[in-house]
Structure 1
Amino acid sequence: MLNSIRIAAFLLLMVTLGFFYSTQRTFLTSVGNQLQGFIIKGKVFNFINGWSNNTEVSSVEENVSMKTTNTPPLRTPSEVLKEGNGIIFLESTDRMKLPPLVLCAVESAARVYKDRPVAFFMKGLNDTNTEELKRLFPTLSSLSNVYFFPLKFEELFTDTPLQSWYSKINPQQQSYWTHVSADGCRLVLIWKYGGIYLDTDVISIRTIPKQNFIAEENSQSSSNGVFGFSPHHLFTQKCMDGFVQNYNSQIWGQQGPILFTRVIKTFCDLPRFNDKEDAMCGTIDILNPQRFYPISYPAWRRYYEVWNKLPTFENSYGLHLWNYMNNGKISVVRGSNVLAEHLYKTYCPSTYEEILGPTKQ
């Protein structure tokens, strides 16, 4: 009789423990499912690039182990830009605190080119701090077509004409290195992936209906601040070759506008624009200066003045705000009513609302 009671008590204890274990396991699984969307072994869901690498998470305090499954890996530039129609920006310095104009340029492009990827390559970004993007760039967090990637010079230049040049160069001894390195990177990025390159002081206002094009700054000079080509196009190939063969860091623009002007002249003569029409150079469109430079660089301050009647820029695809000329001299202030403020309000509203601060008194 006593043995029967002991056996019954033991069975009851096992049933109770089984129920408790099942309940706890269900609870922990539920908690785990909630947590895995936010914290994974110190890494978080990248609001732009997707999930970080699959991993297993262990919490020492709770002694809980969770495994993430079916989480796609971090997307690479080749995957994101595989269609050859991306919009590409770059930052060739280590700065990670981007000024309002840069954020506006990226936001405006993402809004204008809603169905195309917008890729921002940044030298200051590395593989371990992509998780901080949402905190660093909150104005871009809602734009699902924006992607950030590290800009690694050596890796980018590998297997291109610029590889040998970069392996021999000493950046500290180069004049205008920030601009020279940016000139080289934009060439290689468009040659590799195709798409449209935009300077980070260009506000997009409507789509560019061209694939292979350069934009004229004036009738005598091409610009490398905006251009677009299909992958491995002959023009970008010739530009890379010319970049190396005629390298001279002492001359500002030698690897940029001067290079583009020299190379396009090997295809055809530069047109003289008398109206608002574009020109053709074989299969390359040469865009009228009105497309991006309706306000020329000598008049760059006009963007920071109050206009009695706002211009429509109906013949433009984007507006180059000449940040190199401004160089931080004039900032856009909320309530100032200058032209640039109206552009921010219209084409990068998130940047305008979050970055520019309180209304001017």
Structure 2
Amino acid sequence: MGARVLRMPNCLPKLTRVVMSHKLRALFILAFKFVSLASIMLYWRIVEDPKGRGQVCSLPVQIRCAYSVPSPPRTIAGGPPHSPGDVFFVETSEQINPSYLFTCSVESAARTHPGTRVVVLMKGLANGNASLPNHWAFSLLRCFPNVEIRPLDLPELFSGTPLAKWYLQAQQRWEPYFLPVLSDACRITIMWKFGGIYLDTDFIVLKNLKNLTNALGLQSQDVLNGAFLSFTPKHEFMELCMQDFVDNYNSWIWGHQGPQLLTRVFKKWCSIRSLRNSTSCKGITTVVLREQALTGARLPRMSSCLPKLTTAVLTHRFRALFILTISFVFFASVMFHWRTGEDAEGQLYSLPTQSRCEQFLPPSPHTIAGGPPHSSGDVFFVETSERINPSYLFTCSVESAARMHPGTRVMVLMKGLANGNASLPNHWAFSLLRCFPNVEIRPLDLPELFSGTPLAKWYLQSEHQKEPYFLPVLSDACRITIMWKFGGIYLDTDFIVLKNLKNLTNALGIEDQNVLNGAFLSFTPKHEFMELCMQDFVDNYNGWIWAHQGPQLLTRVFKKWCSIKNIQNNMSCKGVRALSPEAVYPIRWEDWKKLFETISSSELHKLLKNTYAVHVWNKLSHGTRLEITSQALLAQLYSQFCPATYAKMKEDSEEQSRPAM
């Protein structure tokens, strides 16, 4: 949520205060910064490649290209149509910064297929760019005259195939595995339309693959994998794959549209039940390929620049020494600057803590390790990932809960804090939340949380961490365990709380027609319903189906609890209440775009008349731009129910709109 603000403009108020308070030292620092920036520009002019590509942190192009024939200039729109026998790589996300492994995959294919065109199709390029972005990988791949990098035009690719209608429908709904499924769709369509060889971008090619025709890879004893495909154009097997893709479509099961699809089509093709005794059938061969198992270690960017820096030092000794000296002094001055200008709490890039907190009681010092044990009736938020940089929405969720429950402790449990830190990280959100004396931010100790529950053994089984939905499933596990152990109220970090929730006891919300959702839970400690949920979590565990351990679990346990087949709005059974959707899910997940639509104050009041909290469906809405000063529904909620977060968003938005200095 929220636009990413340029860092330098956001520092200007702080820098101004430093200049006024420490004029001489600030002047000294600014002078060194100016010289340093000039030296950095001089440095890149010294070491950038002579062809003017300006690739930062890349080896000089002439060194890269010494081992291959020089490439003519390429644009992403040029080149003849695909020819049978091309090697294809596909990137279905918007990424245009290829990793080391991605680049190695393409390079290895180009080297082992010198007479074959290697076509790299990237969705992120499909927005009218006439040339490739500035990135070391594109500079490197230009060295190979047989490599072509082009935009991935999905409507054009799927046109004239059974997948054309599917693609138009898929864009209108949210699916958990959309990108992998889209990749599965692309590869079988490319093989049918153009033929040739398809490879995932995590392969390292050791030999020429042209002798493998009408072949696909065997992943394990009874499962095929589409990471490698090699087919002639318009092959009937690929046509059957496209038809199966549509007829048996299910994107909520991992691998269903990929390895499972190829396996079931091949078994039908060969009329067999097992792949173990069949390596070739009706002209199609299965081959065992050793796919590169590593995803490529992410090296720090500075390490990637070291070869270039070494080259510069050797060829421009005195200038390089001068630059390095200035850079050292620059970094020292930056450290000195922050020591001079930081506030008493050490918060960088944040509004002054005192200005945020003027309207609240002065908070007592909080550390993430201190505080008494949980009390019955706390409000809980949980972050199961390693993230320690709360978003605007996360912060608004906590702020709104703290405002609506001034006498209740609001506990924020974050897994990323569980490494022995004695104080909170430097981040504006933590500075803001310190204003609320009832907010406590603590580490999430998972082994301790699950101890003494049916989930303790499940958590210790490391294989679950490889499952596609592990983080959501872990979150599902945490919330039911917290409700059973401590009781109170649990909220997802994409809620905005409108009213006090304390009168909702032993309750959960109906998301939509006969489905409960655990984004809001309110229970007394050691409640039997939560105990049954924990037992069901283990007994019927399946981490490969979206929501199986969350909404589906709560729904099936509630139906057993009440001995019913259908859940009715606002029904109560054996002391547990299923709240109507308007209580906490007034905006259905299918209608999440309404959050960004303009609405009048009277219409908003009418819509939320019987609502306690609004679920924002961050999984769907997080990439959507919000004009914070508009009359959009979500903007109005921010301004009314989390004004401190709203003020921060507004300031950041104004800073971003100013021209960079």
TM-score by length of 1: 0.75
Q: Which runs of 5+ in 1 are unaligned?
A: 1-36, 40-46, 53-72
Q: Which runs of 5+ in 2 are unaligned?
A: 1-343, 347-362
Q: Shift of the alpha carbon at 1:324?
A: 1.0
Q: Percentage identity across aligned positions? A: 32
| Distance in 2 between residues matched to 1:260 and 1:174, nearest whole Å | 21
Decide which of 591, 610, 614 is 1:319's aligned counterpart. 614
Tell me the secondary structure at the aligned position of residue 236 of structure 1. helix
| Distance in 2 between residues matched to 1:169 and 1:134, nearest whole Å | 32
- Letter in structure 2 aligned against 1:251: I
Tell me the secondary structure at the aligned position of residue 131 of structure 1. coil
1:232 and 2:526 aligned: yes
Q: Shift of the alpha carbon at 1:236?
A: 0.6
Tell me the secondary structure at the aligned position of residue 215 of structure 1. strand
Would you say the 8 A contact 1:48–1:145 is kept in 2? no
2:115 is aligned to: none
1:207 and 2:503 aligned: no
Would you say the 8 A contact 1:140–1:146 is kept in 2? yes
| Distance in 2 between residues matched to 1:195 and 1:112, nearest whole Å | 15
1:146 is aligned to: 439
1:58 is aligned to: none
Would you say the 8 A contact 1:191–1:230 is kept in 2? yes
Decide which of 394, 397, 400 is 1:105's aligned counterpart. 397
Q: Shift of the alpha carbon at 1:352?
A: 0.6
Tell me the secondary structure at the aligned position of residue 578 of structure 2. strand
Decide which of 260, 276, 285 is 2:554's aligned counterpart. 260
Indicate how the Cα distance of structure 1 residues 51 and 92 shifts in structure 2: closer, same or farther if over 3 A, else same. closer
Q: Shift of the alpha carbon at 1:301?
A: 0.5
1:339 and 2:633 aligned: yes
Tell me the secondary structure at the aligned position of residue 544 of structure 2. coil
| Distance in 2 between residues matched to 1:352 and 1:38, nearest whole Å | 22
| CA displacement 1:229-256 (0-9 Å, x = unmatched) | 1111001100000001111111010110
Q: Shift of the alpha carbon at 1:133?
A: 5.0
Would you say the 8 A contact 1:49–1:148 is kept in 2? no
Q: Shift of the alpha carbon at 1:148?
A: 1.0
| Distance in 2 between residues matched to 1:162 and 1:285, nearest whole Å | 25
Would you say the 8 A contact 1:139–1:354 is kept in 2? no
2:385 is aligned to: 93
Q: Shift of the alpha carbon at 1:355?
A: 3.2
Alignment of 1:25-40 (within 5 A): none
Indicate how the Cα distance of structure 1 residues 271 and 49 shifts in structure 2: closer, same or farther if over 3 A, else same. farther
| Distance in 2 between residues matched to 1:247 and 1:126, nearest whole Å | 27
Q: Shift of the alpha carbon at 1:169?
A: 3.5
Q: Shift of the alpha carbon at 1:204?
A: 0.4
Give 4+ residue runs of structure 1 displaced > 3 Å after superposition. 47-52, 133-136, 358-361
Q: Shift of the alpha carbon at 1:316?
A: 0.4
| Distance in 2 between residues matched to 1:261 and 1:271, nearest whole Å | 8
| CA displacement 1:287-319 (0-9 Å, x = unmatched) | 111101111011001001112454110100000
| Distance in 2 between residues matched to 1:93 and 1:331, nearest whole Å | 24
Q: Shift of the alpha carbon at 1:92?
A: 0.4
1:351 and 2:623 aligned: no
1:279 is aligned to: 571
Aligned CA-pair RMSD: 2.3
2:511 is aligned to: 217
Q: Which has the larger Rg?
A: 2
Decide which of 433, 452, 455 is 1:159's aligned counterpart. 452
2:220 is aligned to: none
| Distance in 1 between residues matched to 2:453 and 2:590, nearest whole Å | 36
1:8 is aligned to: none
- Letter in structure 1 aligned against 2:615: H
Tell me the secondary structure at the aligned position of residue 639 of structure 2. helix
Tell me the secondary structure at the aligned position of residue 267 of structure 1. helix
Decide which of 516, 535, 544 is 1:250's aligned counterpart. 544
Q: Shift of the alpha carbon at 1:159?
A: 1.1
Higher helix share: 2
TM-score by length of 2: 0.42
Larger CA deviation: 302-311 vs 187-196: 302-311
Q: Shift of the alpha carbon at 1:132?
A: 2.6
Indicate how the Cα distance of structure 1 residues 180 and 142 shifts in structure 2: closer, same or farther if over 3 A, else same. same
Q: Shift of the alpha carbon at 1:172?
A: 3.7
2:412 is aligned to: 120
Tell me the secondary structure at the aligned position of residue 164 of structure 1. helix
Q: Shift of the alpha carbon at 1:285?
A: 1.6
| CA displacement 1:46-97 (0-9 Å, x = unmatched) | x666468xxxxxxxxxxxxxxxxxxxx9214xx2x22x10100000000111
Would you say the 8 A contact 2:516–2:555 is kept in 1? yes
- Letter in structure 1 aligned against 2:589: Y
- Letter in structure 2 aligned against 1:336: S
- Letter in structure 1 aligned against 2:444: L
Tell me the secondary structure at the aligned position of residue 510 of structure 2. strand
Tell me the secondary structure at the aligned position of residue 592 of structure 2. helix
Would you say the 8 A contact 1:199–1:225 is kept in 2? yes
